Structure 1
């Protein structure tokens, strides 16, 4: 066994991956401690499903990080397997070779991060280089793949991820941010092309890119993390765990179908919710917080929801993700009793309380762009007969009624105590 492999697999102090600055708020490096927390959750689920068996002592399990950046998940998985398989594969070099060639796989999101991930996992940016702890690879990439992928443009946007052509069609000298994992409608075929045939992954885990510029006003960006979750489910792993922004719980641009799918999926077995993203990613501004989830293909059931915020007491409850009378995720476990009381009043089951439906909060507020008007919309200063008066930021304006593309039934509606639009008489 080489001294290089021995050195690379012992404890690291300090850990260089705790010191690397994030690429952006869109592509965030996972702190090592947090990655290990997620791996602990995975190991606990595996043990519960397999009669107490140790996940890290199974030499047949395959792991995939399809959007690796620093390589932290793959590195920590390798470390755990190296310890766990010591009895079954006593020779350290043989054990390391087996783990890195048969069990641990990754896809880099950029050329830079692919090199960083290989350095973290193989101790060399070249998998078959002289300093690499893996001794069986014949390519530089090893099992951490990266090649430049181009967007598929149509009408100014990418047909796969929705990225703006104006923002990201920048020539060969710059990264395209066209991520290989989601830029295909035949993901199983792509996995076979990258890693060989019959590539069934038991665990897909990681921290995907969060959003891309969508060509909207200013710095407008559309979320893309949901595309990675959906694509990963298509591969049918036994377990799926990702860190994603928590805005999908109730809002987020273009996330309605994703939210409906997630909340209706009883294979989503745990959600750890962090109200402040800074508690996970120091110095990163992500409004709405972040969460990580565990999806369990073969063992559906209720979801264990855990809420954390700074020094507040941790709240945990096992419950359905979608409660009766709600079409969004109730983020706080303590809020469930309030919801159930309101639903009971509305259904007439509660005689002790009275609440007119017109006074319910969801009757007084609407979704984003209820009339199809952009948030930056400014109406004409003067209106003509038949125009609609808009109560807009800074006062009022006017717009032709046939320009209203949504919510026409709300205009002049007497049932709406706070209507946004009024017709000009």
Structure 2
């Protein structure tokens, strides 16, 4: 496997980009993420305009989460059996098709909430297969010693797209509902093309029959590694309880009394904070006290969620979301480094699939939980209770996973 003669002792983030495979992979992930973020803003605003119900926003998360639950373990097996580049590129083409349907439905006025949920479910199925493939490709392109920096650099790229995507999505939606979906189609197609150009050497993988032992191998591996289990389950429950992104249309429309451009800014705010922190981590990777730093970051995530929940000021709300995003990226880097560096190459697809299921549960199911709770008690109490729950989970996990709390370095000893 070629690593382009990278100096693992002193490689700045910019030099990592000189590796052609890594650059193309980041462009592919960036294009897909940009399209996804733009589409999320457009779909969220459109479904709320059609229904004016917070519960409808929760259903969007459920529509994307359900296919992931049904397909993610098979997707992990596929990622370990077939060419990950081709599988990911095919998924991105399916995402382009879904965006085209949304554009046509908006232009021709046949788009209904039911059709939106169906398209979102299709996109959820495609991302279930795309995610494990894209995650498992990164450690095959750089040496293990450079992976934390590469992971932080990848996070920087994704967060940049997350900043640009929501803002651009809100602006384009103001020009007409079909416009952002047309641009999303182009982004997904560009991502597929970049993915197809990645060149990487992988050891031959022995053929495995599709049975329960093979499909659920990732779960057994994670259960046998308490540090990995603790890291991804902490992220699951923290974001499940503390995630407020599903309610941003409610905050922008009813609480902050702003429009779609403000919604785009709110959606971009967590990524602004995450980008700043990920750039720091790309330059100065976590070298010690990783466990304590991760728990502290999750606690900050919970506090920022509470302050955002009670805010009535747009600048303060944006600031809280930026702090929230910066704290979250620390957990992301620690978790992804543990998962990829301590997993054998032939199992990375299946372990990444489990990791993605946890992430999807915290994000998509968290959106359903937030929308449902907001429908019962109101948006502000739902967000505040979620932030308090995040703090309680952090304290509980510190007791349940003491070795993770004492974790010093990310690499396996």
Question: TM class by shorter-chain length?
Answer: under 0.3
Relative contact order higher in (CA < 8 Å, ≥ 6 apart): 2
Query: Which of the pair is proportionally richer in strand?
Result: 1
Rg (Cα) greater in structure: 1
